[in-house]
Amino acid sequence: MLILRGGDKLSGDPIAMNGDTIDWKSARLDEINFPIGSAAAITRNGSAIPDLDQPRTDDVVRLSNGDVAHGVVTQVAPEGVTIQTADATPTLPWDSVAAVLFSTSPVDSAADRRAFRVLFAGDESVAVPAVAITGNELTLFLDAKNTRKVDLATVTGIEQLNGPVSWLTARKPSENIYKPFFSENFPTRFDRTVADGKPIREKYPAFHHGIGCHSYSKLTYDLSGQWAGFATQFAIDSDSPLADVTVRIDLDDKPVFEQKNVKAGPIYLLKLIPLGNAKTISLEVDYGENYATDDRFVWLDPALIRTLPSPATQP
């Protein structure tokens, strides 16, 4: 399974790394290539990777026997993955590899790029610049010259990206802070719950996206000036009566929203926040009355809104 930074996944087999691209033989889309900076991981069994969302300064190959190699991946091919380490440059066969984790790209290639995410069964998806439906066939436009056609019956959904809304889960935060109170370890996860790593849509079927985190966490996103508002809902992702957090939204490090004593049970709706000329927006989950006890938390459908709704008129 090839996992991309925007959350897309495609099953298949690696062909090669050529320059700045990774060539992939997709079971659905035949041969297709992606910028290496857009690749987050390759996993052999498609299972969730606990620290997939954490920044990395080097590439990591995890072996099935528990060993780990750090370095620079120089090739992925049908016979295996080649990684240059401090001591050697081995090619590790795929039957010995559990996962390949690529270093974090400094560029947010998805920011403000309009696209369409095509979803397939089996939690597979791919984002493309344009799509078209003709009869029972869906055409995916990869670029100006390359297209792929699939049977519309194999498609479970089509989602517009960076159209009227932009999900924060598709954008790279400029700051990702997590400060455990004691020895707990719950780093932020995107489109997954923080404790068990379940997909947001599996645990919260009424929502498309979400960010799982734990007190204390702070996520900051740069704003490009194209967005007029911010909307989200949020909840404690726990049944514990001890969970208690303070939720805060900052624009340019100045609080514009705060709610104390957020408890388990309800899903809280945040009123739409106008962004004005703000350069950054920060989402904070702070310690509450019971320190950090069971403070598992989820931002639900956090989204930048391109146009504010018109004010209601009085009759």
CATH number at 273 reads 2.60.120.1060
Q: Is the same domain home to 78 and 13?
A: yes
Q: How many domains does the chain have?
A: 3
Q: Is the same domain home to 200 and 269?
A: yes
Write the single-letter amino acid at 40.
A
Token pair, residue 99, equals 């996962």
Q: Is the same domain home to 16 and 145?
A: no
Q: What is the pLDDT of residue 44?
A: 84
Last residue of a domain, one of 101, 131, 149: 101
Answer whether residue 314 is part of any domain. Answer: no
Domain enclosing residue 73, as ranges: 2-101
Distance of alpha carbon 157 from the chain centroid = 18
Question: pTM higher than 0.75, yes or no?
Answer: yes
Q: Report the C-alpha gap between 90 and 311 in whole angstroms.
A: 63
Answer whether residue 250 is part of any domain. Answer: yes
The values of phi and psi at residue 94, to 5°, are: -65, -30
Q: Report the C-alpha gap between 229 and 165 in whole angstroms.
A: 9
Answer whether residue 110 is part of any domain. Answer: no
For 47, counting Cβ atoms within 10 Å of its Cβ (0-12 exposed, 13-18 middle, 19+ buried), the class is: exposed
Q: Report the C-alpha gap between 200 and 299 in whole angstroms.
A: 10
SS3 152: helix
Answer whether residue 315 is part of any domain. Answer: no
Q: Is the same domain home to 149 and 171?
A: no
Q: Report the C-alpha gap between 116 and 50 in whole angstroms.
A: 27
Q: Is the same domain home to 202 and 136?
A: no
Q: Report the C-alpha gap between 102 and 40 in whole angstroms.
A: 5
Answer whether residue 299 is part of any domain. Answer: yes
N-terminal to C-terminal alpha carbon distance within the chain: 56
Q: Report the C-alpha gap between 212 and 80 in whole angstroms.
A: 33
Q: Is the same domain home to 198 and 131?
A: no
**Is 205:171 a contact under the CB 8 Å cutoff?**
no
Write the single-letter amino acid at 59.
D
Percent of the chain past pLDDT 90, that is, above it, reads 75
Q: Report the C-alpha gap between 269 and 70 in whole angstroms.
A: 43
Q: Which long-range contacts (CB under 8 A, 24 or more apart) does 83-89 make?
A: 83/59
Nearest one of 308, 281, 299 to 224, comparing CA atoms: 281
**Tell me, what DSSP letter sits at residue 159?**
E
Q: What is the pLDDT of residue 46?
A: 62
Q: What is the pLDDT of residue 265?
A: 94
Q: What is the pLDDT of residue 312?
A: 67
Q: Is the same domain home to 205 and 155?
A: no
Q: Is the same domain home to 202 and 142?
A: no
Token pair, residue 293, equals 């006890």
Answer whether residue 283 is part of any domain. Answer: yes
Q: Is the same domain home to 60 and 150?
A: no
Q: Is the same domain home to 28 and 156?
A: no
Q: Is the same domain home to 142 and 261?
A: no
Answer whether residue 285 is part of any domain. Answer: yes
Q: What is the pLDDT of residue 111?
A: 63
Q: Is the same domain home to 90 and 182?
A: no
Nearest one of 12, 8, 5 to 32, comparing CA atoms: 12
Answer whether residue 109 is part of any domain. Answer: no
Stretches in the chain below the pLDDT threshold 50: none
Q: What is the pLDDT of residue 107?
A: 55
Q: What is the pLDDT of residue 48?
A: 66
Q: Report the C-alpha gap between 252 and 223 in whole angstroms.
A: 10
